[in-house]
């Protein structure tokens, strides 16, 4: 456990610093370098992120991202935790060359990460995975649009301003690969929940 006794004040924001040199602590994301924090600090991307924490977008190891995410949750930084979940999902999707498959797996992996966080244990959407294995991403998405429910992770994506990652948005982004009925159903689901088309297509 780091010694958090050293505290300096900048303006009205206390910044507690560990005794590890900054360059050394930055190499160990699982330890949350510098541990606490400028409350309310905003990064250039507009997200509230603890001081001295590496950007999740620079990570390529899902396990290191999960350690960073656990610390973010513990210290009360939900935006940072969400960034970690998205980065894990992006890594999973990156192995697929087909655009629909890549988007599908990014969205599905993120939804599984949300479920894992909610359940407190590793959770996989096995029925969707099994159906994908039989028919592929395009058919899974098309069938989902024609059902009453929303794609997995929908509310969480919308809450964090990433409706473009929902299954509904993926259909619109690749509408040439889906029937008119499927595209219209996807658009209606988004509009019915107040999602702007510009955001969904971002």
Q: What is the pLDDT of residue 36?
A: 35
- Inform me whether the pLDDT recorded for 182 exceeds 70: yes
Nearest-10 crossing angle of helices 137-145, 180-192: 60
Domain boundaries, the chain: 1-77, 95-202
Mean pLDDT computed over every residue of the chain: 82
Q: How many degrees, rounded to 5, is the angle at CA 122 between CA 53 and CA 26? A: 15
CB 170 within 8 A of CB 100: yes
Per-residue pLDDT band for 62 (boundaries 50, 70, 90) equals very high
Q: Which two tokens stand for residue 198?
A: 């510009």
Average pLDDT over residues 44-56: 67
Higher-pLDDT residue of 155 and 25 is: 155
Q: What is the pLDDT of residue 54?
A: 84
pLDDT digits (tens, 9 = 90+) for 98-119: 999 999 999 999 999 999 999 9
User: Which candidate, 79, 84, 66, 87, places its Cα nearest to that of 37?
Assistant: 79
Average pLDDT over residues 136-142: 98
């Amino acid at each position: 456990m780091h010694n958090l006794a050293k505290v300096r004040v900048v303006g009205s924001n206390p910044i507690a610093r560990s005794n590890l040199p900054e360059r050394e602590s930055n190499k160990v994301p699982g330890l949350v370098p510098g541990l606490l924090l400028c409350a309310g600090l905003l990064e250039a991307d507009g997200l509230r992120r603890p001081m001295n924490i590496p950007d999740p977008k620079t990570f390529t190891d899902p396990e290191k991202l999960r350690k960073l995410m656990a610390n973010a949750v513990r210290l009360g930084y939900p935006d940072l935790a969400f960034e970690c979940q998205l980065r894990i999902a992006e890594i999973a999707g990156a192995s697929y060359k087909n655009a629909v498959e890549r988007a599908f797996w990014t969205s599905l992996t993120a939804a599984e990460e949300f479920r894992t966080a909610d359940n407190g244990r590793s959770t996989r959407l096995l029925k969707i995975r099994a159906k994908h294995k039989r028919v592929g991403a395009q058919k899974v998405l098309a069938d989902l649009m024609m059902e009453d429910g929303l794609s997995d992770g929908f509310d969480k994506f919308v809450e964090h301003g990433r409706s473009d990652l929902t299954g509904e948005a993926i259909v619109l982004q690749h509408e040439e690969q889906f029937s008119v009925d499927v595209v219209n159903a996807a658009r209606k689901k988004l509009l019915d929940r107040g999602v702007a088309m510009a955001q969904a297509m971002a």
